[in-house]
Amino acid sequence: MSESHNRLTTSWGAPVGDNQNSMTAGSRGPTLLQDVHLLEKLAHFNRERVPERVVHAKGAGAHGYFEVTQDLSQYTKAAFLSEVGKRTPMFIRFSTVAGELGSSDTVRDPRGFAVKFYTEEGNYDLVGNNTPVFFIRDAIKFPDFIHTQKRHPQTHLKNPNAVWDFWSLSPESLHQVTILMSDRGIPATLRHMHGFGSHTFKWVNAEGAAVWVKYHFKTEQGVKNLDVNLAAQIAGENPDYHTEDLFNAIDKGDFPAWRLHVQIMPVEDADTYRFDPFDVTKVWSQKDYPLIEVGRMVLDRNPENYFAEVEQATFSPGSFVPGIEASPDKMLQGRLFAYGDAHRYRVGANHNQLPINRPIAEVNNNQRDGAMIHGNNGGGSVYYEPNSFGGATELPAHKPAAFEVTGQADSVAYNHDDHYTQPGDLYRLLSEEERARLIRNIVGAMTPVENKEIKLRQIGHFYKADPEFGQRIAEGLGLTIPQGE
């Protein structure tokens, strides 16, 4: 490589003559303000960290591709799903939820499973978790829930009192709590876990007919989990264990893969199904709506730069493409705003112009200016619509499908409040060994809770899911379930 390619320069391209010594007034004099290289170097260093994500701060990512294996174009007009064999480049970010950027990979926590598909019709982001359900079902509760997972404002320590107080007062969390405290609460690696869109989405075909859909990414590596004691040991010895494992696997050519399946529900079934199909604390029975394979996702390339790609990657459940739309899921509806707004705050208004987020499809809109603009900022082209000068125009054919709304505008809960059947079914599906570990994990997590009333309230939820479930937890905590539970 020639000398010109190796020379050290400032950010504006001027060569640096001395990178070892500040410019001073004499050998012992004060540093001079005119040492612009020093000033730029220190100023940039002070700004090297963007705010970390409030949730999902600790993550790892990789590039890959998605290949269609079954034609489902009768259900969706999404171009990247239009024909068998079609490949779409994609990027995925795995993450924990509650911990900070430097936290351990092997803690008991759900894992984020966020996929960005770079399609010819724009980016499609499927922003899910490694669980098919979530703790709450209305976005208005999300800030409060996450506050309980974070640190106490006085002690700056994790607060089990807040965690279990919130869960015991939010019985809809029971299904996810049961999954979290089970063996699947600590995946062995990021490669050995399933992924889910979790929410219900709408697919629309070329004729405008709609269906409801749920996404399931099934790992080809098989599901493997970590023993709680081994996970704690790894957390102390190698807090980046999952990040390292994913990078090394791809680096040596052991490319992880997942098969994407969907469950498809006819639109009219939503009015009669035994659970509200838009309630993200519930699953659809696979006996009622079997899994249908869509395609295969393969991760085959590591990031070249962690910050530029993994940290600056931005995902939003609102990044749809024609043929995929939102459902009335209350959690999803809130996320449609919250994720994009988080990225505008954290990375900037022009975050979608960064290479990791930039669509392969042509972007042609009237957004201008703002920090960190990339390219020529639209040049002198038309910057408004409608216009008479050949600027960008709307495409009515790509309007979201019309949907009917009924009722009175109000702050209302879901119609169905059965929070116990599905967690109970899950408990009864477990083997005795799995149940014993589940009970042990819950008892260990609840033991530090200082308020007996909180413990009894939560035990009552477990008991309603399955009497044995609640009784065993009560015994483990040395408590007696009050009569009438």
Structure tokens at 320: 């749809």
Q: How do 201-204 and 195-196 pair as beta strands?
A: unpaired
Candidates 160, 140, 141; CA nearest to 149 is 160
- Cβ atoms of residues 282 and 175 within 8 Å: yes
* pLDDT of the residue at 54: 94
- Cβ atoms of residues 86 and 68 within 8 Å: yes
* pLDDT of the residue at 129: 98
The model's pLDDT over 391-428, given as tens digits with 9 standing for 90+, comes to 888 888 888 888 888 888 888 888 878 999 999 999 99
Axis-axis angle for helices 174-181, 452-465 (nearest 10) = 90
Omega cis (within 30) before 143: no
* pLDDT of the residue at 483: 63
Structure tokens at 411: 């702050």
Other CB atoms within a 10 A radius of the CB of residue 377 amount to 15
The residues annotated as belonging to the active site are: 56, 129
Q: Summarize the chain as % helix, strand, coil (round to 5).
A: 30, 15, 50
Candidates 325, 329, 256, 345; CA nearest to 60 is 256
* pLDDT of the residue at 188: 98
* pLDDT of the residue at 281: 97
- Cβ atoms of residues 235 and 97 within 8 Å: no
Alpha carbons 467 and 458: distance in angstroms, whole number:
13
- Cβ atoms of residues 199 and 332 within 8 Å: yes
Letter string b/e over residues 320-359, b meaning 16 or more CB atoms within 10 A of that residue's CB? bbbbbbbbebbbbbbbbebbbebbeebbbebbbbbebbeb
Angle, alpha carbons 385-386-392 (nearest 5°): 55
**142 SS3 class:** helix
Residue 236 zone, left/alpha/beta (φ > 0; ψ -120 to 50; rest): alpha
* pLDDT of the residue at 2: 46
Alpha carbons 233 and 193: distance in angstroms, whole number:
20
Alpha carbons 458 and 166: distance in angstroms, whole number:
10
Alpha carbons 481 and 178: distance in angstroms, whole number:
19
CA 98 distance to own-chain centroid: 12
Weakly modelled stretches of the chain, pLDDT under 70 = 1-5, 482-485
**182: exposed, middle or buried (C-beta count within 10 Å: 0-12, 13-18, 19+)?**
buried
Alpha carbons 381 and 395: distance in angstroms, whole number:
19
